[in-house]
Amino acid sequence: MTDFDALAAQLEQHPDYRVLRRLAPVDRFVPSSPEHQLRHALVVDVETTGIDQGSDVIIELGIVRFTYDARTGQPVEVLAAESLLEDPGRPIPPEIVELTGITDDMVRGQRIPEARVHELLDGVGIVLAHNAGFDRPFIERRLPAFRDVHWGCTQRDIDWRALGVGSHSLEFLMYRHLRAFFDGHRAVDDCRATLALLATPTADGTLPMLKLLETCRAPRVRVCAVNSAFETKDALRGRGYKWSGNDGTPAKTWCKEIPKADLSAEEEWLRSAVYTNGRGQAQVVDVDLKRRWS
């Protein structure tokens, strides 16, 4: 009988090979301790009929509810992991079937059980998603209770580049951070993979979950470069600004969300790189932390 673990270990000793292992779902990350200040959170993910948040709809909602230590960010235990299918009321596009493996027959007559979702959401302090800017609008349109909780984005609210990872796609993070792969594009599998990322320290001991919580807890502002000259667009884009604002900021301008503690430095950069003639000033709006990624 072939000992594949031994073969993998042998390959890993050679500098020309990197071995990936299939991610094994974990329900307990660390032993329970009376010192834990337990809080409840959800990781969520959706599969949809497409990417248009105005016309496309959810066909699968994945939810993983877990506890974590509020002091350290350490995930402790998975309490529930569920895949909830929904009939979109129209044929699922062939490219979505190919991507997700979800067929019309699988969802026919299915409906997301709202009472069960509300049970899973009860007592939760934060909802997490990998690319929350995509998932949140779909989920809160279908399930309005998600509008009244804090959200965090495991893709954008962690500086993965500073942690030594050059891309923030879920599959690449799994490869670089965990040396693992998983069967993606089923919602609950993506949730499991996301939580595994959060629970695994980097080589220097940094816990990604703690970094995410630090980002989500800090007061934030949205800075908009109102009336910036056209020729400054590349500098703004390179600084992380995106075109068009929302949540009380002007449309059709360059905006960026930052920690409030970084505002003075950002305003100084704008004066030196954008408003170089001494005219103009950025508009700054406080961010409602419950509306982030909405």
Task: State the alpha helices, DSSP H only, in 73-186.
Answer: 94-100, 104-107, 114-121, 132-142, 170-173
The answer to whether 117 touches 63, Cβ cutoff 8 Å, is yes
The answer to whether 93 touches 115, Cβ cutoff 8 Å, is no
Strands (E) located in 31-74: 38-48, 58-69
Report the b/e string of 114-137 with b at 16+ CB within 10 A. eeebeebbeebebbbbbbbebbbe
What confidence tens digit (pLDDT) does each residue in 93-136 have?
999 999 999 999 999 999 999 999 999 999 999 999 999 999 99
Q: Please say if the pLDDT value at position 18 is more than 90.
A: no
Helices 187-199 and 208-217: crossing angle in degrees, nearest 10, is 90
Q: Which residues contact 264 (CB under 8 A, 6 or more apart)?
A: none
Q: Comparing 16 with 260, which gets the higher pLDDT?
A: 260
Cα dist. 231→234, 235, 276 in Å? 7, 8, 12
Domains and CATH numbers, the chain: 4-217 (3.30.420.10), 220-288 (3.30.70)
- The residue written with tokens 């949140």 in the block is 136
The answer to whether 274 touches 228, Cβ cutoff 8 Å, is yes
Closest CA to 20 of 163, 178, 203: 178
Find the range with the poorest average confidence among 233-237, 243-247, 258-262: 243-247
Mean pLDDT of 72-101: 96
**For residue 99, which phi and psi values (nearest 5 degrees)?**
-70, -45
Q: How confident is the model at residue 248 (pLDDT cuts 50, 70, 90)?
A: low
What confidence tens digit (pLDDT) does each residue in 202-237 have?
888 999 999 999 999 999 999 999 989 999 999 999
